[in-house]
Amino acid sequence: MTGAYTGRYKIAGLSIATGPESHDDIFVAKLDKQGRPLWLKGFNNAVGLLSSTGTSLEVDPKTKNIYLTGFFKGRVDFDGIILEETGMVEFSGVPADIFLASLTENGTVVWARSYGEEGHDLGWDLKLLPSSGLVLAGAWNFMPFVQYFDLAGNPGERIHLIAGGVTENITLAGNGAFYISGEFWGFLQAEHINWNTRGDINGFLIKFDPCASKITVPGSTFKSYNVITPNGDGKNEYFVLDPALAGAKLQIYNRWGSKVFDSKHYENDWNGNGLPEAVYHWVASHGCAGTLKGTVTIIR
């Protein structure tokens, strides 16, 4: 579990204390199935009486790694990894930047990163995707948003709603789709959907289906060239997948079944460098299209 604490925080026989300059600090605790604490950690803010809080976490069932999000102002210390707010806005009432961090199952910090601009940036909910990766929801510069990240914290596509407000919850719906809910004020626009507020603050519930807009259903026909000629003339140098398969996982094997290339997020950048002329077999895995197979021939 995660959240914020002030002063000294105790769970059973474990305790942590805020830093000398902190107001609210981030805590993470691991409990066993009976609710008994196994460990408790705090991450202190180091600039004035400013607040930080953890808002959501996910645990990878395979690696047991913990992924944690929230927001902070000023400067926060994740066991020696210092994150600093964009612009260092010096007033305490408004959260400033989003943090995303990974810990081992024993609480050791693996990495920590911050994201945001000089406006109101808030990490509120986090979900681990079945296909690997994370989706984070909150507010970006006072607007509701969701964004994809890989498991190293590298940001991917960000989806904004045109409105003032915050996305507060994500619910996964299968096959890459998910629901988001939250609150907004004024006018809200999300692609072809437009809403006007009927009060000071209104709620929203929206379903996103990344496969629907890409027309990539299992069994569809995709165009991928089966010959490359990497001879330096600038023509047909790279193996190119159909644009609808952008970001697919790609593996390429020689005729003996030995893997010669492996990419978790293929960007049309394989040219068979160092490999002899031959026929190679490829396997692409895509969240919307499923698994596809084919061959590609290198001719120099």
> What pLDDT is recorded for position 131?
65
Whole-prediction pTM: 0.72
Cα 137 to its chain centre, rounded Å, is 9
Using the predicted structure, report yes or no on whether residue 49 has a pLDDT greater than 70: no
The first and second tokens of residue 198, run together, are: 């009927």
pLDDT digits (tens, 9 = 90+) for 204-215: 998 887 776 554
List pLDDT tens digits, range 63-72: 899 999 999 8
């619910």: which residue's tokens?
171
pLDDT in tens, 113-147: 999 887 789 999 999 987 678 999 999 988 999 99
Task: Provide the pLDDT for residue 19.
Answer: 66
Report helix, strand or coil for 177: strand
Please report the domains of the chain, with CATH numbers, ordered by start residue: 2-210 (no CATH), 227-298 (2.60.40)
Neighbours of 94 (CB within 10 A): 14
Residue 36 DSSP SS3: coil
What are the distances in angstroms from CA 245 to CA 7, 218, 267? Answer: 51, 12, 10
Mean local confidence (pLDDT), 256-281: 93
CA distance to 11, 48, 52, 65, 78, per residue, from 45 (Å): 21, 8, 7, 24, 9
Distance CA 70, CA 92 (A): 16
pLDDT at 176: 73
Nearest to 105 by CA among 27, 7, 16, 29: 29
Per-residue pLDDT at 219: 44
Q: Which residues of 144-165 are buried (b: 16+ CB within 10 A; e: fewer)?
A: bbbbbbebebeeeeebebebbb
Give the pLDDT score at 146: 93
Query: In terms of residues, how long is the chain?
Result: 300
